């Protein structure tokens, strides 16, 4: 017979990301972040490769990245509104963790499974922050996929890429509830 954890299940059934633009001060201290990062490090990881790592982006780093968004956006001829939206993720934030996918050579674990593991680390970090009472949001955007931005701004190696930016802070306003998937419409049951 299973040993249920009703509190954990209730949290998962009601969890809700908080828009990054609604997050403010205070943010978790380094000591408060350690258990959140530890929880993220317990993500499914076939082959024990640890195909991810974390970069904690504090306020000064976020300001530097916001400036880099302006520079890269101009170099890439991005539309002004695209630059402004991407910039705001960094200029308006107080704390974010970049979850970095680190592809590792493996004969047994294909690269795609390592990508899935990095995504699981993003979700685990997001849920750990929410379960700890913080507001949190998982974002990406064009800078996350621009090699010039990630190499200059985050010092990523060629075999690394951003899986997501997890913004964490104190929620200033709660967003309205949004529609959720119709589980019946997206579930197939196979008995044979």
- SS3 string, 141-184, reads CHHHHCHHHHHHHHCCCCCEEEEEEEEEEEECCCCCCCCCCCHH
pLDDT band at 139 (very low <50, low <70, confident <90, very high): very high
The pTM score is 0.94
Cβ contact 150:162 at 8 Å: yes
- Model confidence band, residue 96 (pLDDT cutoffs 50, 70, 90): very high
> Domain extents for the chain?
29-59+93-172
Instruction: In whole angstroms, give the CA distance from residue 137 to residue 156.
Output: 22
| Fold annotation for 29-59+93-172 | NADH Oxidase (3.40.109)
């Amino acid at each position: 017979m299973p040993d249920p954890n009703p509190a954990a299940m209730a949290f998962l059934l009601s969890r809700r990301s908080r828009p990054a633009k609604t997050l403010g001060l205070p943010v978790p201290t380094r000591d408060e972040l350690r258990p959140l990062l530890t929880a993220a490090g317990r993500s499914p990881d076939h082959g024990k490769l640890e195909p991810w790592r974390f970069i904690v982006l504090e306020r000064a780093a976020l300001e530097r990245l916001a400036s880099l968004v302006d520079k890269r956006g101009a170099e890439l001829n991005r539309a002004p509104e695209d630059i402004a939206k991407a910039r705001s993720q960094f200029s308006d934030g107080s704390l974010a963790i970049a979850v970095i996918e680190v592809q590792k050579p493996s004969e047994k674990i294909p690269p795609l499974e390592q990508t899935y593991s990095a995504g699981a680390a993003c979700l685990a970090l997001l849920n750990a922050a929410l379960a700890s009472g913080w507001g949190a949001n998982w974002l990406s955007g064009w800078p996350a996929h621009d090699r010039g931005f990630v190499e200059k701004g985050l010092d990523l190696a060629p075999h690394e890429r951003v899986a997501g930016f997890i913004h964490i802070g104190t929620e200033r306003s709660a967003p309205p509830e949004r529609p959720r998937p119709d589980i019946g419409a997206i579930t197939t049951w196979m008995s044979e």
